[in-house]
């Protein structure tokens, strides 16, 4: 087993648990609070849906890169993807389902990451936001990306 894979998997799992705990302590009113005014104008519930969608879609992309070296196309539009898929996820599911699904998807991604060799962690492919990079960086971004959104939620809800 790769030591780095173990570290990444542990971080994914721990940060995922913190994310679930953070959302579970929010009230229904806080889940409907608008966080972003520009662009997609998402509320807290929408961001949770985004988290779930990212765990699924990026998990699939990273696995494909590990297997084939093929990531997203060079002309991939991440903003269009997020607008469509996160919005659909938000409209179709309630907070409880989203939290359970996030935990399930994050757990699956952490277990998969734990199985990777050092060679697999170094494989490169095109990530939707990072461009050409190694799998190890993509896995780190899975939890770092969400930390930024959680910081924004805390600021909007005055939970700092």
- Span 126-140, average pLDDT: 94
Tokens describing residue 113: 């990451």
17 falls in which pLDDT band (50, 70, 90)? very high
- The answer to whether 126 touches 132, Cβ cutoff 8 Å, is yes
pTM of the model: 0.93
Number of domains in the chain: 1
Closest to 146 (Cα-Cα) out of 109, 119, 91: 109
Instruction: Residue 57: give the domain boundaries.
Output: 3-156
pLDDT, position 42: 93
In this prediction, residues 104-118 reach a mean pLDDT of 97
Band (pLDDT 50/70/90 cuts) for residue 146 is very high
Contact 77, 27 (CB under 8 A): no
Q: What's the burial of 72, exposed, middle or buried (CB within 10 Å: 0-12/13-18/19+)?
A: buried
pLDDT digits (tens, 9 = 90+) for 28-86: 999 999 999 877 789 999 999 999 999 999 999 999 999 998 999 999 988 888 888 88
Residue range 119-129: mean pLDDT, rounded: 94
Token pair listed for 136: 């190890």
How many residues can be counted in the chain? 160
CATH label of the domain that carries residue 110: 1.20.120.450
pLDDT at 83: 83
Structure tokens at 64: 């494909």
Q: What is the mean pLDDT of residues 22-28?
A: 97
CA distances from 24 to 30, 98, 99 (A): 11, 11, 8
């Amino acid at each position: 087993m790769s030591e780095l894979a173990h570290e990444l998997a542990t971080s994914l799992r721990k940060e995922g648990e913190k994310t679930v705990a953070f959302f579970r302590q929010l009230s229904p009113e806080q889940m409907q609070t608008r966080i972003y005014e520009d662009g997609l104008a998402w509320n807290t519930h929408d961001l949770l849906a985004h988290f779930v969608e990212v765990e699924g879609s990026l998990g699939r992309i990273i696995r494909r890169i590990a297997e084939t070296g093929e990531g997203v196309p060079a002309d991939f539009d991440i903003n269009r993807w997020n607008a469509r898929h996160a919005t659909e996820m938000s409209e179709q599911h309630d907070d409880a389902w989203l939290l359970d699904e996030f935990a399930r998807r994050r757990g699956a991604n952490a277990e998969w990451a734990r199985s990777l060799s050092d060679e697999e962690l170094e494989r490169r492919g095109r990530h939707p936001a990072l461009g050409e990079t190694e799998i190890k960086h993509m896995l780190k971004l899975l939890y770092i990306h969400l930390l930024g959104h959680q910081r924004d939620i805390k600021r909007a809800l005055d939970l700092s």
